[in-house]
Chains A and B, each alone.
Chain A
């Protein structure tokens, strides 16, 4: 689940960058170094990632044991059986852990134009959101955002990477007002 830890940081970094100087965000060494720390590293948006993966109420547990992402076929936003199983676990977890809300990030691989991929990422994030809502998670706890092809997880230009990049990732956030 190496990639899971890395993604957690990527999501987090997007938020971090909003408040920090450029240098911190564009330094690959810093990025790699913190990715190695996995989900436990703090910072903005880090509430969702805090705690030990042994603690079933922690963000780290959600990310690693529940599974924070689902993958899609080329150009598709249909949820596979595997994706539905992951989202079933996410739904149960979110229902039992009401102190968290979630943002679902939709992503695409680089095989497409920037605009189309933004729209495709929106479809994917929405498919995951609708499924979670259909499983009982309150709609107002889940926001969606599309990154299109802007934030690949894997950077080779091969299908082995592309399939990891066509994803919807559920990123935990502290419950608004809590």
Chain B
């Protein structure tokens, strides 16, 4: 596993540029608003000190632009519309030239390659109409091979300075890569950048694998595998790709595992005698504690970010609905009351919302509701949408969409919690069961 050396250095102290204008308020996108006119930005190639650096610069600015445009909140002004070129990172920016093409945000930067492998990227974000920098300039240092991570980090800075939300571009997703016909589908675990780049396979497809879940720091993955002939829970170390089966209780089927925020405890489903209940155990091994004991199905558990509660799916009322109970088990309260069947609840990392799958009127939806079940909002509708996962900032949801019929295939999609910006995530071939990891450090 490649380790990237990225140092976030102190803000550049290169002398503040004079403010040229004081019109308009601060540059800002409120992403809770309904309809958004994407904010136009310009991202000219970062200034490079060599031909090799020029190549990296073009790649980096391309990824920055793709990250920002991909949110649906920003719109890149094409390079051929630019009337000014940035030839020196240090020189004052001619804001009038960027105002002339209606760029509201300008990202400038420099790229330097030290030796063969060390990449140094500096950048500044400009509020063009205010004629000043938005926050401080920053420098990232990494390896040349790690250029994508640096680009994502720059884009995260732009995104969070303008939206006031945490970024999510420098993050990874673990998922199930699928191939082969529907009745003989081969599945294996894969990990990729949030945008589909840098795919790495973590298992071969000799055994059916399901529903991987990142640990809170992204260093480990819990998943279900049929390696033994029966569904069992495994934990895999991402760096070494080493894996081991967890010693779940007697009874030969365990599945739907998920980490607690402490990264040590897990909650999962165990089927015994046809009955599926929730259990908790320490991931380092040891005792399982039973959390539910009802004759109904209890599955798809997910912890609240403070680790005190668990939201899960149960058909104790007759059809699958969502419930919340204490992390130690005990009485559960039902939170879903709409028409239809609810499943796979996932607590937002911000704690405010629960994403879920809803089956209603022959269609599947991804939706969100508040933790008391109020303000239910359906974000998608299709033949089969399921398995939502949250971006680290709690603003975007990725999920599985499967098309119908004999040629049906699963793909990953993402959507804002407003329901806007539904789009497919690029993967080679079929993909399902995404789990979005944390923002990388």
Interface residues of A (CB under 8 A from B): 10, 13-15, 17-22, 25-26, 28, 31, 75, 77, 103, 110-116, 118-120, 122-127, 129-130, 143-147, 150-157
Q: Is the CB of B205 within 8 A of A110?
A: no
Instruction: Give 28 A-B contacts (CB < 8 Å), ordered by A residue.
Output: A10-B184, A14-B229, A17-B205, A18-B227, A22-B204, A25-B186, A26-B180, A28-B180, A110-B384, A113-B320, A113-B387, A114-B344, A115-B269, A116-B299, A116-B315, A118-B255, A118-B256, A118-B276, A119-B271, A119-B276, A120-B297, A122-B276, A126-B271, A126-B275, A145-B231, A145-B252, A147-B208, A152-B183
Q: Is the CB of A114 within 8 A of B433?
A: yes
CA distance A31 to B180 in the complex (A): 11
Q: Is the CB of A123 within 8 A of B383?
A: no
> Knowing that A113-B320, A118-B271, A119-B299 are A-B contacts, what are 4 other residue pairs whose CB atoms are under 8 Å apart, sorted by A's residue number?
A113-B344, A115-B313, A118-B231, A146-B271
B343 within 8 A of A: yes
Query: Which of under 10, 10 to 19, 20 to 34, or 35 or more describes the interface residues of B?
Result: 35 or more
Q: Is the CB of A153 within 8 A of B183?
A: yes
B116 within 8 A of A: no
Please indicate the chain A residues that have their CB under 8 angstroms from the CB of B384 in the complex. Answer: 110
CA distance A21 to B205 in the complex (A): 9
Tell me, rounded to whole Å, the shortest Cβ–Cβ distance linking B393 to chain A: 25
Stretch of B93-101, B127-135, B400-408 on the interface side: B400-408
Interface residues of B (CB under 8 A from A): 179-186, 204-208, 210-211, 226-227, 229-231, 252-253, 255-256, 269, 271, 273-276, 297, 299-300, 313, 315, 319-320, 341, 343-344, 357, 359, 383-384, 386-387, 402, 404-406, 408, 433
Q: Is the CB of B206 within 8 A of A25?
A: yes
Contact of A155 among B183, B211, B255, B276 (CB under 8 A): B183
Please indicate the chain B residues that have their CB under 8 angstroms from the CB of A22 in the complex. Answer: 186, 204-206
Q: Is the CB of B344 within 8 A of A127?
A: no
CA distance A17 to B208 in the complex (A): 9
Tell me, rounded to whole Å, the shortest Cβ–Cβ distance linking A178 to chain B: 18
Please indicate the chain A residues that have their CB under 8 angstroms from the CB of B204 in the complex. Answer: 22
Given contacts A18-B229, A116-B343, A123 and B297 within 8 Å (CB-CB): yes
CA distance A77 to B276 in the complex (A): 14
